[in-house]
Structure 1
Amino acid sequence: MGEFALLTPRKIAGTDLMVSPIGLGTVKLGRDKGVKYPNSFTIPDDQAARHLLDLSRNLGINLLDTAPAYGRSEERLGPLLQGQRDHWVICSKVGEEFNNQTGQSYFDFTPEHVRLSIERSLQRLQTDVIDILLVHSDGNDLEIIQRYGILEQLELLKAEGKIRAGGMSTKTVAGGIEALKRSDIAMVTYNLDYQDELAVIDFALAEEKGILIKKALASGSLSQQPEIDPVRASFDRVLGHQGVSSAIIGTINPEHLSANVETVVTSMQQQGSR
């Protein structure tokens, strides 16, 4: 894989899951409408997608992040992962749906939809179990948790063996902490430009719950500062927190992916392995 070492897996606190310190986000494999990236992109074909997955695997990445809201991401990953399912820890979502015709999302957090969504995701991903299932919040974290009992629904799915861990991709501090009280994992936003949800990560560390990070590189929109490498500084901050298991990086550029992994390895070596 080049001149730098493989990524060292980390345990997601409170679970038996071991994940690479960065995971591959796959929204760009399935959706190019209504996404907040600074530059336009073309959804890669199967050959390019397979190359990206092979490269990720060779670099030591084992965590894949997908969702029904990512367009065709799940249904594309299913065939692409055949024969290598045991290597990957798959994180998918429930709650947000994407309409490819309108380019808009809508949300459904009812127990009926949770059941429909997980069965559909299992079929699309061509697997018997999804390792991590997160509620895809619309921003009203506490209302979703309290009104729909959705995290209890995830516990039922875990008891049935359809998922290994459950949680929520949250947007508020109160929602993130409440999700951790009732489930295994919270996915929160944390980067150089935004640290408002740091309290959730601190809570997870204290309570031995899992944390995944979204937008660790601010979706490619990090503010620039002279004489500072924003990518290196981002990984130093995000992965330097003892409560963080992994940061999701949504790239389809092989060079960017390799460079990110090399930066993470260097950062981890200098910080000392945990």
Structure 2
Amino acid sequence: MLKRRIGRLGYEGSVVMFGAASLGNVTQEEADESISFALKHDINHFDTAASYGDAELRMGPIISGVRGDIFLATKTGERSKAKAKEEIYRSMERMKVDNVDLLQLHAVGTLEELDRCTEKGGALEAALEARDEGIVKAIGITGHGHQAPATHLEALRRFPFETVLLPLNYYMYSMPEYRAAFDALMREALKQDTAVRVIKAVAKAPWGEQQKRNYATWYEPFDQQEVIDACVHFVLSFPGVAGFASAGDIHLFPKIVDAVERFGSMNDEEAARILSSISGYTSIFESPTSIA
């Protein structure tokens, strides 16, 4: 399993993160099987969130037993200090652990959300307290949508977050404004040695209104192995990307892991040829009037 350093934290994490959103609505048996598969394939980078349904509960039985062998990250979507602190403690209890390697301020994809998190009495203060108490080792930020890169660039000006987590895929990076904003964030992240971790690598498009939803993801994912291979090649071709989260469905996970284990067997031109020829490939997020 290919590993990359998670920024200035120095941890060598598997480039594919076990995206625990996939455990939100599965049985304990299914969760155990998926987590065991990850560990068997030397995946040591696990990422979850308080808002992912029962994911933290499903992780607890196995994760608590291998806590010292993995990089464990969770998130709080609360915006006030008091509520965020409650959620952080709840996450520890649900996962049966005493600490996490990374606590992320979740879904901070606009400047308005960033303002709420960083204002006096905001969620950032809860994260700082939790770090002082030793239950959180590092603090990161996540965001969805087209404004995420610019928002996270501003976030790094306000506070030295150890990680950022935001969307990246072939289609979104082909959008000139998103590409410019993402590249600007990457440059600043490199300066600060902040780990850039990405999501939605295998997202194809929003679900159609009458479309049969075969997966638990809130968007239509790619499921053909060759296309997944190309998607994985694309995001991992960025040397500054520390890792990417697997899609939110346990049935796609083995295909994604397979693609990572064969990374390097496809070249940039082949990946671009495959991804540029796909009909219906688009952004899963609504386009704003501006991402600045």
Distance 1:94 1:263 in 2: 30
Paired residue secondary structure (2:171)? coil
Cα displacement (A) at 1:244: 0.8
Q: Does 1:51 align with 2:33?
A: yes
- 8 Å Cα contact 1:63-1:90 kept in structure 2: yes
Which residue does 2:167 correspond to in 1? 189
- Compute the TM-score of the two structures, normalised by the length of structure 1: 0.77
Q: Does 1:213 align with 2:210?
A: no
Of 187, 191, 209, the residue aligned with 1:202 is 187
Which residue does 2:124 correspond to in 1? 151
- 8 Å Cα contact 1:142-1:174 kept in structure 2: no
Aligned 1:93-108 pairs, distance under 5 A: 93-95=75-77, 108=78
* Equivalent residue letter for 1:175: T
Q: Does 1:257 align with 2:250?
A: no
* Equivalent residue letter for 2:24: G
- 8 Å Cα contact 1:24-1:251 kept in structure 2: no
Q: Does 1:122 align with 2:96?
A: no
Q: What number of residue pairs does the alignment pair up?
A: 238
Distance 1:71 1:253 in 2: 14
Cα displacement (A) at 1:52: 1.0
* Equivalent residue letter for 1:22: V
Paired residue secondary structure (2:256)? helix
Q: Does 1:79 align with 2:61?
A: yes
Between the aligned residues of both structures, percent identity stands at 24
Q: Which runs of 5+ in 2 are unaligned?
A: 204-216, 268-292
* Equivalent residue letter for 1:23: M
Distance 1:73 1:215 in 2: 18
| Structure 1, 124-133 or 166-175: larger mean CA deviation | 166-175
Distance 1:258 1:184 in 2: 29
Of 50, 61, 75, the residue aligned with 1:68 is 50
Which residue does 1:132 correspond to in 2? 102
Q: 1:61 to 1:223 in 2, by over 3 A?
A: closer
Paired residue secondary structure (1:245)? strand
Which residue does 2:16 correspond to in 1? 22
